[in-house]
Chains A and B, each alone.
Chain A
Amino acid sequence: MNISKIANLRYFYTKTEKITVFLSFLSFLLFCIGVYWGLYIAPTDYLQGDSYRIMYVHVPAAWLSLQVYIIMALSGFIALVWKVKIMEIASIQCAPIGAFFTLIALITGMIWGKPTWGTYWVWDARLTSELILLFLYIGIIVLYSAFSDKRQAVKVTSLLAIIGIINIPIIHYSVEWWNTLHQGPTVTKFEKPSAHITMLLPLLYMLIAFNVYFLTVFIKRIRLGIYLREKNSKWMKEYLND
C-alpha cells in the first residue's frame, strides 16, 4: 500500500468509512470474549483473590496510555519536520484517546489499590507520573482549543508532546528506579513472567482487544479531524452529496 496515498486527506477520509464499521464490530467482539475470559475463565489468584481480575482492564489501559503518547509525540515530530497534514491531525487526535486510557488506568488502579494496599491513592512514583501523564494530555487538549489558528496550535502542541515524552521512561522505569508501593514488572520479564500462563493469556488477549479498539477510535478521530479541516473543500462537499 502506498503511504503517500494514505497520507492524502481525501483518500483517507473516503476509504476508511467501511473499515471503521468492521473494526467497531471486531472490537466489540474481542471485548466481549476478553471480559468473559477475565471475569469467569481465568483462575482466582491465591494471594489477591478475585481482585486481581481488575488487572485485565488496568494493565492494557496503562500500556495504551504510554503507547498513545509515543504515537502522539512521533506524529507531532513528523508534522513539525515534514509538515504532513495527516500527521498534524493524528497527533492532536491522539490526546483525547490517551487521556481516556490514562483515566481508566488511574481509576481501575485506585479501585484495585483499596482491597490490596488498603488505600485508594498514594503519592508513589508510578501513580504520580501516570497522573502527570493525564495532566499532559489535558494540557495538550486545552492548549489546542485555545488557538483559533489550528495549524499554529498543532505546532505548539506537538512541541509540548515531544518535550513531555521524557515522562514515558519515568513512568515505565519508576518501579525499578524508586522504592515504590506499586509492584514491579510482571509481564515484561519475558524470560520468567511472574504470572501463570492461565492468567497471562487473557491479559495478552485484552491487550490485543485494547489495541484494536484504539485503532478503531483513532481512525474515527482522524476522520473527524479531516472533516473539521476540509469541510469547506470541494471534494468534501462532493463526497457528502454522493
Chain B
Amino acid sequence: MIEFFSMGKYTVFVYVAYFVSIVILLAGYFLPHYRLKKEIKKKAYEDNKKQ
C-alpha cells in the first residue's frame, strides 16, 4: 500500500496531474448542473414577480 503514496521523484507530478484532472472533470460535471438549477430558479422568480 505504501507504493500508492510513494513514487519516488515522480510523486508530485503524478498526484498533481490526477488532482488537476479530477478538479476539471468535477467542474465539467457541476457547471451545467448548477447552471440549470440557477436558470430554473431565475425563471420562477421572474414569473412570480410578474404575478
Contacts and interface: CB of A to CB of B under 8 A. Distances in A.
B30 to A, nearest CB: 10
A39 B14 CA distance: 9
A50 B9 CA distance: 9
Interface residues of A, number: 35
A151 to B, nearest CB: 19
B45 to A, nearest CB: 12
A228 to B, nearest CB: 7
Given A53-B14, A111-B16, A115-B13, A40 B24 contact: no
Contact of A108 (B20, B27, B40): B20
Contacts of B32: 217, 220-221, 223-224
Contacts of B9: 49, 115
A61 interface: yes
A181 B17 CA distance: 20
Contacts of A240: 40, 44
Contacts of A216: 29
B13 to A, nearest CB: 5
A141 to B, nearest CB: 12
A228 B20 contact: no
B51 to A, nearest CB: 13
Contacts of B33: 220
Interface of A: 24, 31, 35, 39-40, 49-51, 53-54, 57-58, 61, 96-97, 100, 103-104, 107-108, 111-112, 114-115, 213, 216-217, 220-221, 223-224, 227-228, 231, 240
Interface of B: 1, 3-4, 7-11, 13-14, 16-18, 20-21, 24-25, 27-29, 31-33, 35-36, 39-40, 43-44
